[in-house]
Amino acid sequence: MSFTAKDVQTLRQATGAGMMDAKRALEAADGDFEVAAQWLREKGLAKAAERADRENTQGAVAVFVDGAVASIVQLKCETDFVASSERFKTLVSDMAALVTAKGIEATADRAKEIEELQLTLKEHIELGEVVRLEAGDGNVLDSYLHVQGNRGINAVLVELSGGTRQLAHDIAVHIAFARPKYLRREDVPAEDVEKERATLETITRNEGKPEQAIGKIVEGRLNGYFKEICLLEQPYAKDDKQSIGQLLGDATLVRFVQVEIG
C-alpha cells in the first residue's frame, strides 16, 4: 500500500511524531495508518507532542572558536540532570564546532540526533539560540564560557578591532557577569530611554527635590542607567576605577554576543 506526503503529515498531527519517524512508520506498515500509529506508540515515538508542551528552561551552551570564525550553540531541555549528561553535552559541543565550520544551516544535520535524544531521555529537548560570527579583516575574536555543574551555562563572544585576543577574552569574562544589554548608549531604543527618564523624574519629584534641580538630577540618574546596561560605560569588573571604554584604549569593540541558560 503506497502513501503520500499528506499521509505523513496526517500521521504526524495525530501522533505528535517527527516527520521522519512518521514516514518510517508508514513504510514499516506498508501505508496502513492504524498499524503505523501503533508502531509509533510501541517505539515510544508518539509522545513528542506531549513533551513539546513542557517547559524547557534548562540545557547547555557551547562555544567553538577557529581563528576568525566562532559560534555559540544552545541546546534546551527540562532538567539540569539531562543537561549534565555526557551525551547531551557532547551533542551541543559537536554542533558548535559544526556551525563554526559550515554555518548555522548545518544544525539541520543534527536534527535527527536531537529527536533521538528527546526520545531516549524522555524530555522536551530542542535547539535554542545559534550564533555564528566571522571577524572582519584584521579583527580578533575571543570567547568565555562559564561552566556550572559540568556544563556550559553562559557563553560570550567578543570581536575587537585593533586589540588583542587577551583583551577580547578579558572583556568577554566581564560581559558574562555584568550582562550588558547594549554596546553603547546610542543603541538603546529611544522609547526605552524616554520611559526611564519619565520614571526617574517621577521618583525625583516624589522625593521632594526642588523643581529647579529636577532636570539635572534626572540626567545624572539617567547616566547611571546607561552605566548599567551599556557595555562601554560599565565599570570594568576587575578594576571599577575604569570603564570598559577606557580599558579598550585604542582598540574598538565591534560587537559582542551573550547566550545563557535560564
For 103-115, write each residue's pLDDT tens digit.
Answer: 999 999 998 898 8
Q: What pLDDT does 29 receive?
A: 87
**Out of 10-24, 34-48, 114-128, 187-201, which region has the weakest mean confidence (pLDDT)?**
34-48
Residue 26: count of CB within 10 angstroms of its CB: 25
At 42 the three-state DSSP class reads helix
Q: What pLDDT does 121 receive?
A: 76
Q: At residue 88, does pLDDT exceed 60?
A: yes
At 187 the three-state DSSP class reads helix
Specify whether 42 is located in the same domain as 104: no
Specify whether 27 is located in the same domain as 47: yes
Specify whether 22 is located in the same domain as 126: no
In tens, the pLDDT along 89-100 reads: 999 999 999 999
Radius of gyration in angstroms for the set of CA atoms belonging to the chain, rounded to a whole number = 25
Can you give the pTM of this predicted structure? 0.78
52 pLDDT band (50/70/90 cuts)? low
Got the DSSP string for 11-34?
HHHHH---HHHHHHHHHHTTT-HH
Residue 30 belongs to domain with CATH number: 1.10.8.10
258 pLDDT band (50/70/90 cuts)? very high
Q: What pLDDT does 146 receive?
A: 97
Specify whether 67 is located in the same domain as 161: yes
Specify whether 141 is located in the same domain as 249: yes
Q: What pLDDT does 183 receive?
A: 98
Q: What pLDDT does 30 receive?
A: 85
User: What is the pLDDT averaged over residues 186-199?
Assistant: 96
Specify whether 134 is located in the same domain as 217: no
Specify whether 219 is located in the same domain as 245: no
220 pLDDT band (50/70/90 cuts)? very high
Specify whether 161 is located in the same domain as 237: yes
Specify whether 100 is located in the same domain as 148: yes
Tally of domains in the chain? 3
Cell of 218: 534626572
Q: At residue 37, does pLDDT exceed 60?
A: yes
Specify whether 114 is located in the same domain as 175: yes
Specify whether 195 is located in the same domain as 128: no
Residue 106 belongs to domain with CATH number: 3.30.479.20
195 pLDDT band (50/70/90 cuts)? very high
User: What is the pLDDT averaged over residues 119-141?
Assistant: 91
Structural domain boundaries, residue 215: 189-229
Residue 223 belongs to domain with CATH number: 1.10.286.20
